[in-house]
């Protein structure tokens, strides 16, 4: 199970951006690198670290904000939002 910091790092690495630009309020509109290919990279990385479980969560394909990703992953039991 991912924690929020691991998720932010995964997103930054997937988009090839600095980790510090990834915030809870970030979205595909606020990060130029988060285009369709960037989104596929995020989904692929999530699938890899969750051993294929992320690919079973169809809602992830439509998530275009960090808030959406955290809600969907948390609901699916793939993200621990507690510190």
Query: The CATH number of the domain where 8 resides is what?
Result: 1.10.1200.10
pLDDT of the residue at 82: 74
pLDDT of the residue at 73: 97
pLDDT of the residue at 81: 78
Alpha-carbon separation of residue 24 from 53, 65, 66 (angstroms): 23, 8, 6
Which stretches within 1-83 are classed as H helix? 4-15, 36-49, 66-75
Domain count, the chain: 1
- Whether the CB-CB separation of 1 and 78 falls below 8 Å is answered with yes
Q: How far is Cα 37 from Cα 23, in angstroms, rounded to an integer?
A: 20
Reported pTM: 0.93
Along the 83 residues of the chain, how does pLDDT read in single tens digits? 899 999 999 999 999 999 999 999 999 999 999 999 999 999 999 999 999 999 999 999 999 999 999 999 999 999 997 75
Q: Which domain holds residue 22?
A: 2-80
62 φ, ψ to 5°?
-100, -5
């Amino acid at each position: 199970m991912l924690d929020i910091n691991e998720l932010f790092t995964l997103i930054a690495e997937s988009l090839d951006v600095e980790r510090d630009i990834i915030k809870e309020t970030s979205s595909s509109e606020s990060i130029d690198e988060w285009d369709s290919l960037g989104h596929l990279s995020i989904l692929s990385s999530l699938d890899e670290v969750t051993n294929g479980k992320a690919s079973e969560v169809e809602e992830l394909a439509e998530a275009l904000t960090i808030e959406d990703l955290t809600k969907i992953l948390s609901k699916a039991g793939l993200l621990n939002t507690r510190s």
